[in-house]
């Protein structure tokens, strides 16, 4: 993408997606059994800087829940989490870790994720959190994709990429529900599970959005995962054509394509 910027023969087209890199924090293993510790790590991140630097502006800021702003059901009135190092330090001290803690972040060598891991490592240092990085080949990271034999699902702290979905349902259920097959955070919360049922039963957008707001508020309080951005999906097209459209799941739409008149 960067190679064609400024090249008059091509143009870069982008659409906003719900794709994201989720940072899971194992809620059943120290030090992340205490939600204050989890929130402290989340508060060290400067999300705007990550979007501007790592993603070159081709993303929107996330708020530590799978509800991307592009989802109509997302409650956009829920306050956005922002970097607050002083509050992170206060929470750490309150949780009995005034000098921070050490932890290993395990992730995959794919896309921008290794760079994102370094960014998290550097931001965390501001609050005294010492993160060691364990970056694995992608196949090794996922392993068998089952609990007990997968660094993805077994690591204390990790980053996993998730592709675009048209609704947040699979993210909400597979990654965060108590019995979710992708629940790398090992998050088990009866209130959350009940809210998922409420959300699923909603028969109109307003009711669904109310349930979504409750879910978003609960996840911000519990912080089983950190989602600091939702990426855009980009395509390169010739400058000689117009009307090229595509979706965030790679569907290329050519019904309106025409050649640009010289």
pLDDT tens sequence across 210-249: 999 999 999 999 999 999 999 877 666 666 667 666 655 5
In a domain, 118, yes or no: yes
pTM of the model: 0.88
In a domain, 244, yes or no: no
Write the CATH number for 111.
3.10.105.10
Pairwise pLDDT comparison (5 vs 178), residue with the higher score? 178
* C-alpha to C-alpha distances, 32 to 25, 166, 170, 208, nearest whole angstrom: 6, 31, 24, 30
Give the C-alpha separation, 231 to 164, whole Å. Answer: 9
In a domain, 84, yes or no: yes
In a domain, 200, yes or no: yes
What confidence tens digit (pLDDT) does each residue in 121-145 have?
Answer: 999 999 999 999 999 999 999 999 9
- Domains contained in the chain, number: 1
**Domain encompassing residue 123:** 16-232
In a domain, 258, yes or no: no
In a domain, 6, yes or no: no
224 within 8 A of 175, measured Cβ to Cβ: no
Q: State percent of the chain over pLDDT 90.
A: 80
Quote helix, strand, coil % in the chain, to nearest 5. 35, 20, 45
């Amino acid at each position: 993408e960067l190679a064609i910027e400024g090249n008059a023969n091509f143009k870069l087209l982008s659409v906003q997606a719900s794709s994201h890199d989720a940072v899971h924090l194992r809620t059943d293993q120290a030090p992340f059994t205490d939600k204050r510790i989890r929130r402290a790590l989340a508060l060290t991140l400067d999300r705007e800087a990550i979007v501007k630097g790592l993603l070159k502006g081709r993303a929107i800021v996330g708020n530590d829940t799978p509800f991307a702003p592009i989802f109509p059901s997302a409650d956009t009135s829920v306050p956005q989490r922002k970097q607050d190092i002083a509050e992170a330090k206060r929470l750490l001290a309150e949780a009995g870790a005034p000098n921070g803690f050490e932890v290993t972040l395990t992730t995959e060598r794919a896309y921008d994720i290794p760079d994102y891991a370094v960014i998290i490592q550097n931001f965390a240092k501001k609050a005294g959190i010492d993160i060691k990085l364990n970056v694995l080949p992608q196949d090794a990271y996922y392993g068998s994709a089952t609990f007990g034999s997968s660094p993805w699902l077994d690591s204390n702290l990790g980053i996993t990429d998730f592709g675009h979905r048209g609704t947040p349902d699979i993210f909400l259920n597979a990654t965060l529900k108590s019995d979710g097959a992708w629940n790398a955070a090992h998050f088990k919360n009866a209130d959350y599970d009940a809210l998922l049922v409420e959300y699923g039963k909603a028969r109109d957008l307003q009711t669904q959005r109310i349930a979504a707001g409750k879910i978003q508020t609960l996840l911000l309080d519990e912080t089983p995962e950190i989602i600091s951005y939702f990426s855009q999906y980009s395509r390169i097209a010739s400058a000689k054509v117009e009307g090229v459209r595509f979706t965030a799941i790679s569907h290329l739409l050519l019904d309106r394509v025409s050649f640009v008149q010289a």
